[in-house]
Amino acid sequence: MRFLHTSDWHLGRTLHGVDLLAAQKAVLARIVEITAESDVDAVIVAGDVYDRAVPPVEAVTLFSTTLAALAEHATVIVTSGNHDSAIRLGFGAELFRDRIKLRTSLADIGRPVLLGGEAVAVYPLPYLDPDSARLALAGDEPLPRSHQGVLAAAMQRVRADLARRPGIRSVVIGHAFVVGGVASDSERSIVVGGVDSVAAETFAGIDYVALGHLHGRQQPRSGSDTVLHYSGSPLRYSFAEAAQTKSVTLVELATDGGVTLQPVPLAQPREMVVLAGSLAELLAGTEHEGAWVSATVTDRSRPDAMFDRLKQRFPHLLRVEFRPLGAEPAGLAADRSAVAAHPRQLAQDFIQQVSGVSAEPAELDLFEHAFAAAGGG
């Protein structure tokens, strides 16, 4: 049994104001090509199809056409993530052809999609918001308000169904932060009640767990034989992902019980780079002219026309930050500054924080004079 694992399409997302719809259309077309070339039995989409609960019309259209194209080659199994509206994503699920399976309802947990003449049972788990799922999944005892609690309850339903199917291979689709995974700043926090993670052992006994939510391809460790895997997002959605190689994952469940994974790289619309240095250093050279660029300027004082000059050097510049070498990160000195007993000390703390060097006496004299002139002293 072979299938393709992908997740976190985030249709409708922008990158620092740049519309990504054309890039998303291209990368999804490539996923359709890989599906056709690889002769897979199914395509799994592990949540976050859309970037927000009410997606733009163009994003809905792209999902619809992609879903139809994929279904020409394989069964498509889709579940919802924390960015999706489960109700909107799952609308009309009962009307779709047999090769399109949208599973976004809590009522469907424990009801598998059977593949290969019932040789493999695939259990889609929509993103489980603890505030609502713990009521729907509760048995005799109330469930804790945590992702661990609701996912453990969902897996009880999965195992109960599996117990009625001896000898069958099993796949679970989940959208969660599994302990051991490495997050980036482009994933929305799913902290509820102070708990956002799920133990890998929650899925013990399953052959393969197709995960979504984390945007970097990775494989959390498990104490059991269960293989857990994040396929990652197909595009880079933040500069925290600049070094990531994006891909989809071909998964094969072998007849001997093994699971093999093969990442298939996906071309990106542009190079993405994070640069830091003085303005003069950043303006030198000719590299990265076609890249999306995040630049941190480290001069002692803020250069004039900093953004405009960098924009001429890097036409696709998206983010500029001024952070002098040695400057204290924002917020670390806030408490000291707020309680400074004397305005001169307040000015000294501020200049030290934003510039990374001690204030000159003349600068402090000027501040004191201005403070007094404003009626502050």
pLDDT in tens, 153-185: 999 999 999 999 999 999 999 999 998 766 666
Query: Other C-beta atoms within 10 Å of 254: how many?
Result: 11
When pLDDT is cut at 50, 70 and 90, the band that residue 339 belongs to is: very low
pLDDT of residue 115: 95
341-348: which pairs have CB atoms within 8 A and are 24 or more residues apart? Answer: 343/367, 343/368, 343/371, 343/376, 343/377, 344/368
Tokens of 34: 């890989």
Structural domains present in the chain: 2-265 (3.60.21.10), 272-322 (3.30.160), 334-373 (no CATH)
Beta bridge partners of 198: 178
Q: Which of 205, 220, 261 is nearest to 5 (CA)?
A: 261
Tokens of 147: 């992702």
d(CA 74, CA 121): 16
User: What letter would DSSP give residue 355?
Assistant: H
Using an 8 Å Cβ cutoff, are 83 and 48 in contact?
yes
Using an 8 Å Cβ cutoff, are 207 and 229 in contact?
no
16-21: average pLDDT: 96
When pLDDT is cut at 50, 70 and 90, the band that residue 197 belongs to is: confident
d(CA 371, CA 377): 7
When pLDDT is cut at 50, 70 and 90, the band that residue 93 belongs to is: low
β-strand pairing of 197-198 with 177-178:
parallel
CA neighbours within 13 Å on the CB side: how many for 137?
A: 30
What's the one-letter identity of residue 77? I
Can you tell me whether residue 94 is helix, strand or coil? Answer: helix
pTM, full prediction: 0.84
Residue 51 scores a pLDDT above 90: yes
